[in-house]
Amino acid sequence: MDVIKVSNVTKKFSKNLILDDISLNIEQGSIVGLIGPSGAGKSTLVKAIMGMEKVNSGNIEVLNAKVPNLKILSDIGYMAQSDALYEDLTGKENLEFFGKLFKLKKDELKKRIEYTSKLVNLENHLDKKVSAYSGGMKRRLSLSLSLIQDPTLLILDEPTVGIDPTLRLNIWKELHDLKLQGKSIVVTTHVMDEAAKCDKLALIRDGKIIATGTPDDLISEFNVSSIEEVFLKIGSDR
């Protein structure tokens, strides 16, 4: 079953074409990576999928509902490229606030805070105000927030920027465990070893999807020896 269906989507800013007739289906229980050069349209596509960016033409369905649709937001965990945190609150207070927005009961909220904070190695920093967090800690808290309500679909825009390599490995292990539970994950990344961990990749350049497939399929299609070389190739003409 497809959890996301993007059909012939076009988005313009002024006269600039940001998304150019993009179509993409994402299956349940898979990790799909969106990769491409800066300015290729990845974040705009993610925002359009969330219903945060109005498209000029085409259709987007998420969890069998046409977006934008407030009813499905509780089933989606979203991590934006920019951290949206309440800096005057502690890490725990941020998690409690968003958990209550999703109407989590007290016991469930406590369990989710314990789980998500441990996943991102913040359990010992929850009582600190977010204003005292480093940039990497804020990214980790944002990832924790995206998981607070136990969503069925995760949409993560550059989730591991500023996070140390050891913790990145742990996070990716958990993402694969979540996939095995039937959850679906969309991630944009510039980290090529992360791209190689995805089940499927969509390569975006100049607002177009120029290729899709498993990492091995794309390595073969582009006649290179690594995903990094694929990335370098899509930054220039094939």
Question: CB–CB of 62/46 below 8 Å?
Answer: no
- 208 three-class SS: strand
Q: How far is CA 138 from CA 18, 41, 87, 92, 162, in A?
A: 29, 24, 10, 12, 9
Instruction: Tell me the pLDDT tens digit for each residue of 74-115.
Output: 999 999 988 889 999 999 999 999 999 999 999 999 999 999
How much helix, strand and coil, in percent to the nearest 5, is found in the chain? Answer: 40, 25, 35
Instruction: Tell me the pLDDT tens digit for each residue of 176-210.
Output: 999 999 999 999 988 888 999 999 999 999 999 99
Structure token pair of residue 3 = 């959890």
Beta bridge partners of 79: 156
> Domains in the chain and their CATH numbers?
2-234 (3.40.50.300)
Beta strands in the chain (DSSP E): 2-13, 16-27, 31-35, 57-62, 65-66, 76-79, 153-157, 184-188, 200-205, 208-213
Q: What is the pLDDT confidence band of residue 236, given thresholds at 50, 70 and 90?
A: low
Question: Whole-model pTM?
Answer: 0.91
Q: Is the pLDDT of residue 175 over 60?
A: yes
Average pLDDT, the chain: 93
pLDDT at 82: 86
Q: Which amino acid is at 195?
A: A
A 10 A CB-CB count for 119 gives: 20
Q: What is the pLDDT confidence band of residue 233, given thresholds at 50, 70 and 90?
A: confident
